[in-house]
Structure 1
Amino acid sequence: MERGMTADQVLKALWRRKVLVGAIVLGAFAVGAAIVLSQQSVYEATAVVRVQPQRPGEEMVQRTVSELVEQRLLTVRQELMARPVLQRAIEEMNLYPEIVSEAGMEAAVNRMRKDLTVRVEGESAFELTYAHTDPNVAAQVANRLPQLFSEQALKSRQEQAARATKLFEDEIVALSKSVTEWEKKIAQFKVDHIGELPEQLEMNMRGLERVGALLQTKSEELRVAEARRSDLARARNAADSEAGRLEAAEHSLTQGLVAARSSWTADHPEVKRLSQELNEMRERRKDAESRQWAERQERARVSELIATIQKEIEGLHQQAKGYQERLDRTPQWAHELGVLNRDYEIARAKYQSVVSRRVEAELAQDLEVKSAESLFNVVSPAGVPVAAARPDRMSGLLISFLIALGLGVLVGVVLEMRDDSIRDTQELRDRLPLPVLAVVPNMQGKVEKRVLMPASGVRNGVASPSSSDSPLN
């Protein structure tokens, strides 16, 4: 039956079964030591990388990459553990060839994630540790992974800067078309409403004033011409009367001269007098008719001048009306042109702003390329490890020994607890509520053995008052 045991009883039980316990301890330790010693040595190489801030560059040029390079430390572990970086490292350095050939690249990437440890140190540095069975490979991978990470990060930043530049270029093309269209609309509007535009308001007002002054001048000329025509009309009646009178007098003299010539000879004084008077009258008539013709020409000229002045005045009135209509329509076109100019200025301002941003984006892109080498600085490159990081064989052997020892003790204690043998007087008193009458020593050999005789009977050389037997050793 099972029972509790004290520490002395455990020690005695282990001592009685020392051979079995020792064999178990040695066997278990041998197995554990074999397992510990058979494990392959793993070496760890560590590299420390520092991220350089980019503040001076941002003061000179507005960057198109909004993410600060220091912020990448927040996700550096995820980026280093990402498949693109690890797969490139596996392909470049031919890592895990057996896994790649048997299970594929994904399994190799998962295995490399287990062998890789990334820790952020401070605000601008991170530590990368890679474990491998070959110390040289561990050092090479630990030094190469930061380079791959920096290349990937710089490539991402440069691509982002290039995308921003391309975006500005596409926007410039669209805005340039918009600005050109607005310019065409404004130009066509000015062509359609030429002479009525706001910038021509002062010109139209001066033109109206000039036409008004010309109207006054022409009106005065017309008044003078009409007065002249009136004078000529009055003079025409007088001239007509004089010419008629002279013509009648000439006719009378002609008749008198004909009568005189019929009565007298040509040398007669009366004939000569009448001939002379007739010639003088004829000259005077011709002179009167000449003056009458000149007056007629003057009257025609004055009439023509009056018609011309009247036509000019009518034209000036039309010009004044045109200028006035332009001045009346100018506010309407000024409003519509203002709306067109406002939209044009908005499009033009956007175009100029995008052009300036495109220039800054190109400068930022060039700055990203030029500052790429100084963003990530390997503070402490990984060296070839000398000692294996794991397994810790001394600790493994110690643990194996402790496990083996515990197993031996456990086996000894379990066997002792399942053993019902009575080995001393105290145990007998504890287990049997009977008095002990005598102890008979075991006389076999040189070693003295005592035999206890309970009152109930005798067993194995011990007297007992009962017929029940109990083995004694």
Structure 2
Amino acid sequence: MEEERNMERGMTADQLLGALWRRKALVGAIAAVVFLVGAAIVMTRPSMYEASVVVRVEPQRPGEEMVQRTVSEIIEQRLLTVRQELLARPVLQKAIEEMNLYPELVSEKGMESAVAQMRKDLTIRVEGETAFELTYANRDPQVAAQVANRLPTIFSEETLKIRQAQAARATELFNEEMVALGKAVSNWETKISQFKVDHLGELPEQMEMNMRGLERVSHQLQTKSEELRVAEARRSDLARARNAVDSEAGRLEAAESGLTRSLVNARTTWTDDHPEVKRLQTELDRMTARRKEAEGRLWAERAERTRVATLIGNIQQEIQDLQKQAEAYQGRLNNTPRWAHELAVMNRDYEIARTKYQSVVSRKVEAEIAQELEAKSAESLFNVISPAGVPATPARPDRMAGMLIVFLLALGLGVLTAAVLEMRDDSLRDGTEVRQRLTLPVLAVVPEMQGKTERRILMPASGARNSVSNPTSLN
């Protein structure tokens, strides 16, 4: 209960100052110890030097109007990813291995710990729209400057490797796609060629030729039909004339036979010089000539009939051939729409495959050009516009600020200690405290006796000393 009352008791500024004065030795000792320990910590902390380099991200050249890059990225996006890429393990590990950074950490805890420590020592800040500032902290100012200047180069080299790998992969993918599409185009060309061979004469591009052929055959049919009509008419005429010729030849032959018998009979009666014999001989000769002439006409008519019959047969055969040709042309024309649809579908698929193939070939060429450009434009990706110099003074720790903080901390701890001890002290310092704590009337307040003379005046005898409390007990 007494302790709780002591804790609840407040302190005025005068009381606090009095407590500090009474315990000045303790406060001074605590403050001195804390200050010395803090000062030792501040002064023994290693100095860290910071070196900064400003790097500008250059736009890609040549532009997209010259060649379509397979690895393209605008500057704004590039700046957003710079921090992640700079702090990536490949870049930091290469810098650690190349410049032998954190050797103790690498040997004790491995490369991962060294990379994590280097991330802590690096600060990246975007400057404007096209640049960023890289700051590296190290105990050695020379190392800080060297690492700050070397990191952008390593970053550029690693970025170039990644971009070249991406460009090479894009080229490889385009090449694989080109081979596959080339096979597809060849297959479609083979199918279309075989289709045209299988349906030769019935293709859409041959439709006009078939129409002209059908028109030509139709005209020939008309001509041959007219020739057949004329030949059949001639055959009919020859058939009607045949009977007359046969009758005339038979009549002349019979007359010749009769004259021959008469001449034979006359010669048996008369000599050859007899007028009757001569007359019969003359008539016989004339009749024989007429018979031969009639027989010649008969043979000529027979030959003409044979010729006309042959002509009619030939014309009929030609008409049949022409009709077959007309049917063939008509069949081709009838089949053309169906094959035209199938061929159009095949040509459409072929054109799609060929267009894709040409596009991939074009993009493959562009990818190869872009791959070459990536190698040539490697140094222009990042341009150091403000290289890091060797820092002359450490960036941290700030020893002046540290000493000030340690001093304030030591002083505050001393004051706090004095205040706590004062609040736990049960001594009565003045009459006010006596009235508050003892609830008794105060008759007199004896000031503190500072020396032996003052004490003798107030307490001359031992009895008096025993009857009056020592004022120092109030302390």
Give the TM-score taking structure 2 as reference length. Answer: 0.86
* AA aligned opposite 2:37: V
The alpha-carbon deviation at position 13 of structure 1 amounts to: 4.5
Q: Provide the rounded CA distance (Å) in 2 between the counterparts of 1:209 and 1:459.
A: 166
2:270 maps to 1:297: no
Instruction: Select 1:40's aligned residue among 30, 42, 46.
Output: 46
Note closer, same or farther for the CA distance 1:95–1:266 as it changes in structure 2 (3 Å cut).
same
The alpha-carbon deviation at position 439 of structure 1 amounts to: 6.6
Q: What stretches of structure 1 of length at least 5 have no aligned partner?
A: none
In structure 2, the residue matched to 1:85 is 91
| Maintained 8 Å contact 2:123/2:136 | yes
In structure 1, the residue matched to 2:250 is 244
In structure 2, the residue matched to 1:191 is 197
In structure 1, the residue matched to 2:111 is 105
2:216 maps to 1:210: yes
In structure 1, the residue matched to 2:147 is 141
Note closer, same or farther for the CA distance 1:263–1:269 as it changes in structure 2 (3 Å cut).
same
**More divergent stretch after superposition (357-366 vs 97-106):** 357-366
Q: Provide the rounded CA distance (Å) in 2 between the counterparts of 1:452 and 1:39.
A: 61
**More divergent stretch after superposition (296-305 vs 386-395):** 386-395
In structure 2, the residue matched to 1:225 is 231
**More divergent stretch after superposition (42-51 vs 425-434):** 425-434
Does the residue aligned with 2:63 lie in a helix, a strand or coil? helix
Instruction: Select 1:403's aligned residue among 384, 388, 409.
Output: 409
Q: Provide the rounded CA distance (Å) in 2 between the counterparts of 1:88 and 1:133.
A: 20
Q: Provide the rounded CA distance (Å) in 1 between the counterparts of 2:283 and 2:80.
A: 139
Q: Provide the rounded CA distance (Å) in 2 between the counterparts of 1:14 and 1:462.
A: 36
Instruction: Select 2:101's aligned residue among 90, 95, 103.
Output: 95
The alpha-carbon deviation at position 182 of structure 1 amounts to: 2.3
Which structure carries more relative contact order (alpha carbon 8 Å, separation 6+)?
2
**More divergent stretch after superposition (351-360 vs 283-292):** 351-360
Query: RMSD over aligned Cα, in angstroms?
Result: 3.3
* AA aligned opposite 1:145: L
2:326 maps to 1:340: no
Instruction: Select 2:126's aligned residue among 110, 120, 123.
Output: 120
The alpha-carbon deviation at position 12 of structure 1 amounts to: 4.6
In structure 1, the residue matched to 2:443 is 435
- 1:428-453 Cα deviation digits (max 9, x unpaired): 78877432386796664xxx655796
Note closer, same or farther for the CA distance 1:284–1:401 as it changes in structure 2 (3 Å cut).
same
The alpha-carbon deviation at position 26 of structure 1 amounts to: 3.3
* AA aligned opposite 2:41: I
**More divergent stretch after superposition (32-41 vs 90-99):** 32-41
Does the residue aligned with 1:44 lie in a helix, a strand or coil? strand
Q: Provide the rounded CA distance (Å) in 1 between the counterparts of 2:345 and 2:22.
A: 113
The alpha-carbon deviation at position 71 of structure 1 amounts to: 0.9
2:370 maps to 1:369: no
Instruction: Select 1:262's aligned residue among 268, 278, 281.
Output: 268
The alpha-carbon deviation at position 19 of structure 1 amounts to: 4.3
**More divergent stretch after superposition (175-184 vs 204-213):** 175-184
| Maintained 8 Å contact 2:252/2:287 | yes
Q: What stretches of structure 2 of length at least 5 have no aligned partner?
A: none
In structure 1, the residue matched to 2:324 is 318
The alpha-carbon deviation at position 287 of structure 1 amounts to: 2.8
| Maintained 8 Å contact 2:446/2:471 | no
Does the residue aligned with 1:49 lie in a helix, a strand or coil? strand
Does the residue aligned with 1:196 lie in a helix, a strand or coil? coil
**More divergent stretch after superposition (383-392 vs 55-64):** 55-64
The alpha-carbon deviation at position 84 of structure 1 amounts to: 1.5
Does the residue aligned with 1:58 lie in a helix, a strand or coil? coil
Q: Provide the rounded CA distance (Å) in 2 between the counterparts of 1:65 and 1:26.
A: 65
| Percentage of pairs with the same residue | 70
Does the residue aligned with 1:314 lie in a helix, a strand or coil? helix
The alpha-carbon deviation at position 313 of structure 1 amounts to: 1.4
Q: Provide the rounded CA distance (Å) in 2 between the counterparts of 1:387 and 1:452.
A: 69
Q: Provide the rounded CA distance (Å) in 1 between the counterparts of 2:23 and 2:30.
A: 11
Note closer, same or farther for the CA distance 1:207–1:21 as it changes in structure 2 (3 Å cut).
closer
In structure 2, the residue matched to 1:282 is 288
* AA aligned opposite 1:203: M
Does the residue aligned with 1:57 lie in a helix, a strand or coil? coil
The alpha-carbon deviation at position 396 of structure 1 amounts to: 2.6
Note closer, same or farther for the CA distance 1:378–1:257 as it changes in structure 2 (3 Å cut).
same
| Maintained 8 Å contact 1:100/1:108 | yes
The alpha-carbon deviation at position 8 of structure 1 amounts to: 4.3
In structure 2, the residue matched to 1:173 is 179
User: How many pairs were matched up?
Assistant: 466
